[in-house]
Amino acid sequence: MEQRVVYFEGHVQGVGFRYTTAQAARPLAVTGYVRNLPDGRVELVAEGQTSEIDRLLADVREQLGSHIRSEQTDTRPATGQYSDFRVAY
């Protein structure tokens, strides 16, 4: 189990990024959140098996890749603090 924190930059706010990411996470065994940041980036925090997080990120890139200019990723041990995956405000 791991936690992956990903910061997406580009035209990622106002394009349904959070909703699309939450929908992509629902069928997967991942918990965490996605939220807009004041500086225009989107933050994704996902916990689960590496393969499940990889699947989520692949889905996000497939559906929203044209809006993503760059990504910054940090991988950490899972904390177990999330019970589901949601849009955070």
Q: Is 86 annotated in the active site? A: no
Strands laid side by side in the 68-77 sheet: 68-77, 2-10, 42-48, 30-36, 85-87
Q: Is 35 a catalytic residue?
A: no
- H/E stretch holding 56: helix 50-64
User: What is the total residue count of the chain?
Assistant: 89
Is the CB of residue 78 less than 8 Å from the CB of residue 6?
no
Which of 36, 41, 55, 69 is an active site residue? 36
Q: Which of 18, 26, 55, 86 is catalytic?
A: 18
Q: Which residues are catalytic, by number? A: 18, 36
